Amino acid sequence: MDSSLLTRFAENIFWLARYMERIENLARILDVNETYNRGRAGDNDWSHERHGDATESAVIAFYITDRKNPNSIISCLHFARENARSLRHLISTEMWRQINTFYSRIRNVKAADLRNLSELCREIKEGCQTHTGITEGTFFRNQGWTFYHIGKYLERADQTTRQVDMRRHMLIRADVEDGEADAARQLDLIEVNTLLRSLAGFHAFRQVHPAGMTAEDVVSFLLFDSRFSRSVAFSLSMVESLIVEMSKTHRLRRNVAIRAAFADARKVVETGSVAGMDAADLHDYLDLLQLKVGVLTSAIDDAYFG
Amino acid sequence: MSQDNALARYEPGAFFCELFGRGGKPPAHTALVRERLAQLDIPSLRRRSRDAIEELYDLGITFTVYSDRDVIDRILPFDVIPRVISPADWQIIETGVQQRVAALNHFLKDIYNDRKILKDGVVPADLVLGNANYREEMVGLDVPGGVYVHICGTDIVRDDKGEFRVLEDNARTPSGVSYVIENRHLMLRAFADLTEGIDLRPVDGYGSQLAAALSAVAPRRAPGDPGIVLMSPGTFNSAYFEHVFLAREMGVPLVEGQDLVVEKDRVFMKTTGGLVPVHVIYRRIDDAFLDPEVFNPESALGVPGLMRAYRKGNVNIANAVGTGVADDKAIYAYMPRIIRYYLDEDPILQNVQTNICREKEGLAYTLDHLEELVTKPVGESGGYGVVIGPRATKKELRELRSVLMKKPDNYISQPMINLSVTPTLIGNAVEPRHVDLRPFAVTGDSTWVLPGGLTRVAMKRGSLVVNSSQGGGTKDTWVLG
């Protein structure tokens, strides 16, 4: 009996992990954009995508407290908590308690909290990291653990590709000629910096590239450096060992579709290179990568969440 | 006692008090508890009460209310002053409940098989066979061990002489046991100083007793380690926390109808590794929703074919289907006779005297004494539709009278019982509030009663309605060793 897990719970655990990962990413993006846009005139395009001439506070509210936005932090946290609620007999009391109090805190975010965005984002990130820590320390190492982490790393791979894609235009700017070059490079550096910090990769990147910072190197690092914990390569390698765990440890039947989809995705990462790409090439490549990760996700869905 | 202490101004009035008895000298068994409480002052009680309430929210020991905008978690009001039961009183309750559960199981087996009690005219046949909760599908079915009521919650009150009386037998899916155990955990954390050195009967054996009982009633063909599941209507159900709690305590999967499937009259659950057999279902879902093939065809909560598997003896369901006929308020009136009929024993726990309005004398008496009696519809639960004569307005009584004349079969009446009281923290004072008790009995090979049970308390001054749906709260229940 203890080896079996209901398909519904496998799916809910998978999504619990995805939502928590998504929240952490979103909080980091909001924080970094806030910090790096301060003192810079206009042009915080990230916030104008949907809101035209929206005020900054309305935009922040849209991403944090707006329940009508299904990708806002409160919406994701709501879904994470509802998944956790259905899983309460499988997760630890400490996990549930933390998600529950975390949700209560974010539900009570006031306008004043939004004005102190950096502090709020830090609190949200730490809420997610506390969740990660409690999960590591208390979650029983059964199938649920495996599905939790598959969800987490698939979400992470997806988030990283999306964030790089959002800033793919920095590759164009690097091509700007002569007179405009200095200004463009200046802008470019801010973009590259923001991207790195949005993925908590600035210092890790510096360890690999102590001097200089080119858009190409940054993108390559974020996608392919298997030592960087938010890279696509790292996320997929984690997924690979989890897939093995499913059959080896949990005795679930080896699934051909999952193995094939994984091999496909891995190949795209292993043979990928940013050298010589422009923004359009990068976009196409990231599209392909997202497609492959999507196929892998569907294969897992079909095999286990029936 | 100093004036600062929590009990200094407490005055139970004319009622029997669980802590102070009635008039005269307070009972010796509560001495230590009274002494400990007297060392606390009101601000300290209030502080601990606030902490306990916060803890309930944080741990999500809540029932859930869904609105368009949000999911709202509410807690049952929790009172920090425990209700105390002496070893001698517990002996009466425990044996009395065991006796009642035995009688209920005999009665159900009889009415779904030989119907001797009906043939002997002890209980009117139409009252049973015409009952809305009587299930034709159960006729002739041989349930494992002859157990129909695996989990029973008997509602017991104490009158102004301190005598225990049964108010009703909950033989369908009684709820509240999770609060018994969580309340105790809460008390041990918030009032370690209060419990120290007091010999309390533990309550944490419930999960393992329940799992053992469910194992004991698995179908004969099932393997030694049968597949047990807890079946819930889902997270939208207000008792979902309790379903989680019980599944976790027993270490069994918490399933919904959508997780189960019937193939060749066998029940399976859908897991990541494929279909896994299920042998015993502790269901927290009403009969009507169990199997859309047999009962409510609209039910999306149930499992098509479940009744076929049940009738074939491939799966056991706890509580059995059709137990609702036994805890009906109309059958309740006959319980003392049912106990004598099957067990040849006098009831250990008395009923409240009950007038059956379907009987001429019962109706006449009820109509003559409407303003003194508590009148109850027989089909309802949760305290709905109950009219307390002495507290009703003239208009309410007039309406009740006309309904009674039209549909007398639908009602019983009982004298008003002045439920016992116990000290309860209300704002800045400790005041008497009325309580009842729901002990939980688990039956597999034998019947085990969880020491204590759920003490429900009417938080409103003077109110006798303890139901949570009507604003009642709970207390920890201390059975002394």
Q: ipTM greater than 0.85, yes or no?
A: no
Element (H, E) at B368: helix B360-368
pLDDT of residue B72: 73
Q: Does any CB of chain A come closer than 8 Å to the CB of residue B120?
A: no
- The pTM of this model reads 0.88
Chain A residue whose CA is closest to B250? A89
Who among B247, B248, B272 is closest to A304 (CB)? B272
Q: Do A6 and B271 lie within an 8 Å CB cutoff?
A: yes
Rounded Cα distance between B182 and B137, Å, is 37
Q: Do B273 and A250 lie within an 8 Å CB cutoff?
A: yes
Chain B residue whose CA is closest to A75? B70
pLDDT, chain A, mean: 88
Residues 6+ apart with CB under 8 A from A136: none
* A chain contacts of residue B259, beta-carbon cutoff 8 Å: 6-8
Rounded Cα distance between A305 and B364, Å, is 62
Cβ proximity of B302 and B257 under 8 Å: yes
Residues 6+ apart with CB under 8 A from A68: none
Using one digit for the tens of pLDDT, what is the confidence trace for A13-36?
A: 999 999 999 999 999 999 988 776
pLDDT < 70 regions, chain B? 1-3, 65-71, 379-383
* B chain contacts of residue A104, beta-carbon cutoff 8 Å: 57
Position A270 pLDDT exceeds 50: yes
Rounded Cα distance between A160 and A195, Å, is 10
Rounded Cα distance between B374 and B354, Å, is 10
Q: Does any CB of chain A come closer than 8 Å to the CB of residue B281?
A: no
Q: What angle do CA A226, A228, A233 make, to 5 degrees?
A: 35
Chain A residue whose CA is closest to B260? A6
- Polymer length of chain B: 481
pLDDT, chain B, mean: 92
Element (H, E) at B361: helix B360-368
Hey, what amino acid is at B301? L
Q: Do B235 and A5 lie within an 8 Å CB cutoff?
A: no
Position A216 pLDDT exceeds 70: yes
CA atoms within 13 A on the CB side of A74: 21
Q: Do B271 and A97 lie within an 8 Å CB cutoff?
A: no
Q: Does any CB of chain B come closer than 8 Å to the CB of residue A51?
A: no
* Region for B76 from its dihedrals, namely left if φ exceeds 0, alpha if ψ lies in -120 to 50, beta otherwise: beta
Hey, what amino acid is at B141? L
How many interface pairs between A and B have CB atoms less than 8 angstroms apart?
A: 76
pLDDT of residue B2: 52
Chain A residue whose CA is closest to B245? A89
CA distance from start to end of chain A:
19
Position A154 pLDDT exceeds 50: yes
CA distances from B114 to B111, B142, B143 (A): 6, 12, 14
pLDDT of residue A36: 67
Q: Does any CB of chain B come closer than 8 Å to the CB of residue A93?
A: yes
Cβ proximity of A158 and A223 under 8 Å: no
Strand partners, A6: B271
Hey, what amino acid is at B433? R
Cβ proximity of B234 and B240 under 8 Å: yes
Q: Do A67 and B69 lie within an 8 Å CB cutoff?
A: yes
Q: Do A82 and B225 lie within an 8 Å CB cutoff?
A: no
Q: Does any CB of chain B come closer than 8 Å to the CB of residue A96?
A: yes
Q: Do B256 and A8 lie within an 8 Å CB cutoff?
A: yes
User: Residue A173 — pLDDT band, cuts 50, 70, 90?
Assistant: low
Q: Do A96 and B59 lie within an 8 Å CB cutoff?
A: yes
Using one digit for the tens of pLDDT, what is the confidence trace for A30-58?
A: 998 877 665 444 444 444 444 454 577 88
Element (H, E) at B455: strand B454-458
Cβ proximity of A234 and A206 under 8 Å: no
Strand partners, B1: none
- Polymer length of chain A: 306
- The two structure tokens encoding residue B427: 């704002």
* A chain contacts of residue B185, beta-carbon cutoff 8 Å: none
Using one digit for the tens of pLDDT, what is the confidence trace for A198-212?
A: 999 999 999 999 988
CA-based nearest distance A81→chain B, Å: 10
Q: Does any CB of chain B come closer than 8 Å to the CB of residue A39?
A: no
Q: Where do runs of H (alpha helix) occur along B335-427?
A: 335-343, 360-368, 394-406
Who among B60, B271, B273 is closest to A100 (CB)? B60
Strand partners, B413: B355, B375
Position A179 pLDDT exceeds 60: no
Who among A1, A89, A96 is closest to B247 (CB)? A89
Q: Does any CB of chain A come closer than 8 Å to the CB of residue B71?
A: yes
A-facing residues of B in 400-459 (CB < 8 A) are: none
CA-based nearest distance B72→chain A, Å: 11
Using one digit for the tens of pLDDT, what is the confidence trace for B373-432?
A: 999 887 655 567 889 899 899 999 999 999 999 999 889 999 988 899 999 999 999 999
pLDDT of residue B1: 46
Handedness of CA A91, A97, A98, A104 (dihedral sign): positive
Site from A4, A67, A93 to mutate, B interface, most B CB atoms within 10 angstroms: A4
Using one digit for the tens of pLDDT, what is the confidence trace for A95-129?
A: 999 999 999 999 999 988 998 999 999 999 999 99
Q: Cα A9 from chain centroid?
A: 22
Rounded Cα distance between A4 and B284, Å, is 22
Site from B271, B275, B278, B301 to mutate, A interface, most A CB atoms within 10 angstroms: B271
pLDDT of residue B443: 98
* A chain contacts of residue B235, beta-carbon cutoff 8 Å: 82, 85-86
pLDDT of residue B470: 73
Residues 6+ apart with CB under 8 A from B132: B324, B379
pLDDT of residue B126: 87
* B chain contacts of residue A249, beta-carbon cutoff 8 Å: none
- The two structure tokens encoding residue B139: 């006729």
CA-based nearest distance B347→chain A, Å: 40
* A chain contacts of residue B253, beta-carbon cutoff 8 Å: 1, 4, 6, 9
The region of weakest confidence among A126-140, A165-179, B459-473 is A165-179
Cβ proximity of B285 and B234 under 8 Å: no
Would you call B199 helix, strand, or coil by DSSP? coil
Q: Is B381 exposed, middle or buried (0-12, 13-18, 19+ CB in 10 A)?
A: middle
Q: Does any CB of chain A come closer than 8 Å to the CB of residue B235?
A: yes
Chain A residue whose CA is closest to B273? A252
Element (H, E) at B78: strand B78-85
